Amino acid sequence: MKFLKKISKRNKIIFLAVIIILVLIHIYMYNTIHSLRVRYITLEFEDLPKSFDNMKVALAADMHAGLYIPESHIKKMSDMIMEEKPDMILFAGDYIYSAPHKFSHYDKENTEKFSNGINVLKAKYGKYAVLGNHDNWESTEDVSNALYSNGFKVMDNTILFITNEMGEYISIGGVGDYLTDDVRFDAAVSNVHTNDFHILLSHEPNMPLKKAKDGGYIKSIDFFLSGHTHGLQISFLPMWVWEGLNNNREYPRFPVIYGILNYGNMKVYVTSGVGSVLFPFRLFAYPEVVIITLKSVKNK
């Protein structure tokens, strides 16, 4: 109280205004983690077979069901995905989150929240996922089983070919998380020809992108999708700034934070994710589900 008496009236007003502003910013950041949005993108590919033209892909990552993200938020994500009627659903890792500091701590209920939240998802050409660092830190087995029990194929260091009713095919592969697993592009692009259309899932974008370039694997990959960055989660720049930093460059000049870019012959998308970690806040980096319409240039 003596401290307050020594402060002038003007400074008291300034002090109170700062406190109010800080409280409002924290309320805004807290509300932002629940403000899930849909981002719509259309991309053209020369290698996409004509019969797959207008294929709609749903991408989501970093749900982090658990400490800050309730089951209802995962269900909201799933409902938003199903409203778009996607032909394929892709998940790019980090599905649970149990503790802010002890990443080795694991609460099985969080995996159950995630599993319950995705049980309505369906897609014509299937559902595919890779694991993230938090999944491997907490329980690789439980998270994998949750995905399998909901009809997802776990694609870490493997590949699948998908043939449609016209007899044409595309392929999808995945690599393990860079922080907690092997990143095996040789397995993820096995038997893919340069004129095939190939999708690659990775949880973390930056080091796998470099490894793909250094190993010459980008010649086999048309579309690389990942998460992990959360768009920084608490960003002091809007997402379009981060997206623009690497726009129209053959290779990224800065670490990939968010959005669409070209990387050699590949197109890349890094999503800001669905949930949050460390703190229940987001600033500018709105959570998102991404709906990507794939167009075949062969139709032109």
**In this predicted model, what pLDDT tens digit does every residue of 239-262 receive, in sequence order?**
999 998 888 777 887 899 999 998
Q: Which residue has the higher pLDDT, 104 or 38?
A: 38
Reported as a single tens digit per residue, the pLDDT across 67-116 is: 999 999 999 999 999 999 999 999 999 999 998 766 668 999 999 999 99
Q: Could you tell me which residues are beta bridge partners of residue 163? A: 169
d(CA 221, CA 154): 19
Handedness of CA 197, 150, 138, 38 (dihedral sign): positive
Residue 201 amino acid letter: L
| Lowest model confidence (mean pLDDT) among 17-21, 77-81, 231-235, 295-299 | 17-21
Residue 31's nearest CA partner among 286, 288, 300, 291 is 286
Question: Does position 18 have pLDDT exceeding 50, yes or no?
Answer: yes
> What pLDDT, on the 0 to 100 scale, is given for residue 264?
83
**Pairing between strand 169-174 and 198-201?**
parallel
Amino acid letter, residue 130: V
* Residue among 176, 169, 174, 144 at smallest CA distance from 159: 174
Phi, psi dihedral angles at 100 (to 5 degrees)? -75, -25
8 A C-beta contact, residue 199 and residue 90: yes
According to the model, what pLDDT value does residue 1 have? 47
